[in-house]
């Protein structure tokens, strides 16, 4: 998709945390700030690709607003969401990366009028991620995670035990609460046994992209196990690990596009 001026429409990279956005902007020296809907959208280029980078803010409504502005005002051709998530499935550990295959709102329940989790009037609960973008993000993540110390430094790897991080693909679920108890985590695993991770924005952005016919993908770094220790070292982990993962994966994906 091209803009009315014949140039390629930009790609949107949406970050959930300020630290992640900052790491990305450091790679985009020509970033120009555009203020809209109370947010700063940074327009520039990264590895030869026109990009709009923005902080989504936290929660489904904030993320949906951000995605709508990207579609309406900036005319982006695809949206990629980066951020952190709590691990749900066995084997999804702190420091792993989850690339969404599908997304669902775990706190949406209009039953008995509609089936639980189904978005009223859309007839679906799950929204598929774009397969080609998800493949590229997973490939970039695999390459980066082969040598975590090269990206993060030996100190961060030792501090968080990130000696053999893995990449997973599957269902990511979203809701307007920070899941931080073992009981909540167990309830989600029981209700949605194929869910790999839980966060607070992705499924809302996926629904907006479905409405606009925009390709969407999401990549999440596992910061905790969504249990009673979910708050431990969260801020330090985002700064030392997740922000570098997000910037590295996004940059590798954009480099791959520029080679085509």
Active site residues: 20, 224
| Residue 251: closest CA among 91, 128, 80 | 80
Tokens at 113, concatenated: 């009028």
What is the dihedral angle through the alpha carbons of 119, 122, 123, 126, rounded to the nearest 10 degrees?
-60
Cα gap 256→93, rounded to integer Å: 27
What SS3 class is residue 55? strand
For 74-91, give the DSSP string.
S--SEEEEEEEEEE-STT
Tokens at 86, concatenated: 């709590």
Cα gap 190→84, rounded to integer Å: 22
Q: Is 163 exposed, middle or buried (0-12, 13-18, 19+ CB in 10 A)?
A: exposed
| Residue 75: closest CA among 134, 25, 11 | 11
Q: Give the single-character DSSP code of 45.
A: E
């Amino acid at each position: 998709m091209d803009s009315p001026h014949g140039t390629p429409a930009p790609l949107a990279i949406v970050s959930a945390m300020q630290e992640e956005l900052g790491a990305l902007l450091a790679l985009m020296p020509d970033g120009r700030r555009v203020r809209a809907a109370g947010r700063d959208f940074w327009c520039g280029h990264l590895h030869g690709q026109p990009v709009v980078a923005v902080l989504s803010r936290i929660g489904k409504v904030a993320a949906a607003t951000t995605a709508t502005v990207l579609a309406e005002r900036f005319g982006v051709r695809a949206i990629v969401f980066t951020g952190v998530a709590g691990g749900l499935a066995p084997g999804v550990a702190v420091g792993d990366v989850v690339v969404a295959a599908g997304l669902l709102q775990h706190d949406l329940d209009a039953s008995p009028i509609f089936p639980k989790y189904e978005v009223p009037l859309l007839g679906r609960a799950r929204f598929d991620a774009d397969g080609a973008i998800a493949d590229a993000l997973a490939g970039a993540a695999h390459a980066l995670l082969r040598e975590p110390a090269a990206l993060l430094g030996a100190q961060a790897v030792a501090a968080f035990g990130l000696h053999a991080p893995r990449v997973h693909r599957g269902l990511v679920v979203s809701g307007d609460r920070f899941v931080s108890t073992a009981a909540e985590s167990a309830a989600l695993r029981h209700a949605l046994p194929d869910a790999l991770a839980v966060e607070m924005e992705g499924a809302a952005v996926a629904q907006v992209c479905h409405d606009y016919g925009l390709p969407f993908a999401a990549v999440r770094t596992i910061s905790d196990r969504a249990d009673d220790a979910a708050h431990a070292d969260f801020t330090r982990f985002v700064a030392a690990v997740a922000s570098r993962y997000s910037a590295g994966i996004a940059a590798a994906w954009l480099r791959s596009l520029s080679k085509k």
